[in-house]
Amino acid sequence: MLASKLSRNRFCTLLKRCKSTLVIVEHNNEKVTPITLNTVSAASKLGGEISCLVAGSQCAKVAEEVSKIKGVNKVLLADSDAFKGFLPEALAPLLIATQNQFKYSHILAGATAFGKNLIPRVAAKMDVSPISDIIGVESEDTFVRTIYAGNAVQTVKSNDDIKLVTVRGTAFPPAEETGGSAATDKAPVDGISNDLSKFISQELSKSDRPELTSAKTVISGGRGMKNGENFKMLYDLADKMNAAVGASRAAVDAGYVPNDLQVGQTGKIVAPELYIAVGISGAIQHLAGMKDSKVIVAINKDPEAPIFQVADYGLVADLFKVIPEMDGMLK
């Protein structure tokens, strides 16, 4: 009995030693995307070693940047034309080959379009259940996430041997960008090809404003803006406040702004220091994307608008009167 207890303890110690996490780095072949820092921070809550996989084409610069992130023990670099466009059909076999070689206990990616594209595919191929969009880590097998458009919080325990997880960036602080000195190794790229899809080109919207999901201030407009031209008022205000501009789905669907501005359940999740909702009613699907903002300001002409229930400061007013006034004050 004692012998079996001892061997069990030794087994547990060995298991702890084996605990290691692979973070999939999101980047543009030039620079690490901020969500990676939040994902490393979530990985550090699991204990054990943290490795980061940088897959792309001509992305050695990114691996160097990742090696300096505090808490990262090892960087795996997969630099090949096969990973142009970061297509999941090419990245999934790479991830599986990497997992077969290094046997991680956890694989984490940001809950962004990139992570949501890749992790479920890999999970299906490994026959495990992915755990999506976590907002907390309770232990190595238990995670917290939201359901019903953020209206309920769920604690999930996974019995799978490998945990494949996507991480909500706004729920974890970013890891420090410096202080680490991880070694870089080559990932098992040999023989990885993609016959299923081909990257042709991409057109990315360019903006001098801060990125929506990492901006400290976000000004969002809704259907109350009436048309796309009126959004100029918000862009001007945003430029004066060094803010990003967001929108409700109604504004996106009406064609006022492109859909990469959408905040909400089916858009981006933001949690800035200051969120200003202009002409937005506050439907639960919109709140799901912004209600964790530190300070929420709502401008709406309808005093009964649900947005006022979550707002720290509410202004019942016509936006076409008050936005130019605010702009004038900032001048």
Q: Give the interface with ligand FAD as residue ranges (CB under 6 A).
A: 222-224, 248-251, 262-267, 279-281, 283, 285-286, 289, 299-302, 305, 318-320
In the complex, minimum distance from the CB of residue 268 to ligand FAD, in angstroms, rounded to a whole number: 8
CB of 143 to ligand FAD, least distance (A): 23
Name the minimum Å distance from CB 182 to ligand FAD: 37
309 labelled binding-site residue: no
By beta-carbon proximity to ligand FAD, the closer residue of 180 and 224 is 224
Contact in structure between 108 and 43 (CB atoms under 8 Å)? yes
Is 101 labelled a binding residue?
no
Q: How far apart are CA 219 and CA 202, in angstroms?
A: 27
Establish how many alpha carbons lie within 13 A of residue 317's alpha carbon, considering only the half-sphere containing its beta carbon: 16
Residue 99 marked in a binding site: no
Whether residue 202 is annotated as binding a ligand: the answer is: no
DSSP SS3 for 40: helix
Nearest residue relative to ligand FAD (C-beta): 264
Task: Name which of 213, 274, 207, 205 is nearest 239 in CA terms.
Answer: 207
In terms of CB distance, is 98 or 248 closer to ligand FAD? 248
Does 223 belong to an annotated binding site?
A: yes
- The answer to whether 290 and 220 have CB atoms below 8 angstroms apart is yes
Place of tokens 């109604």: 250
The residue with tokens 């809550």 is: 45
Nearest distance from residue 302's CB to ligand FAD, in Å?
4
Shortest distance, position 301 Cβ to ligand FAD, whole Å? 4
**Nearer CB in complex with ligand FAD: 130/264:** 264
List Cα–Cα distances, 275 to 27, 68, 230, 290, in angstroms: 26, 32, 19, 8
> Of the candidates 258, 248, 259, which has an alpha carbon nearest to the alpha carbon of residue 225?
248
Q: What is the DSSP letter of 318?
A: -
189 is in an annotated binding site: no
Q: Would you list which residues are annotated within the binding site?
A: 223, 248-249, 262-266, 279-286, 300
Q: Would you list which residues are annotated within the binding site for FAD?
A: 223, 248-249, 262-266, 279-286, 300
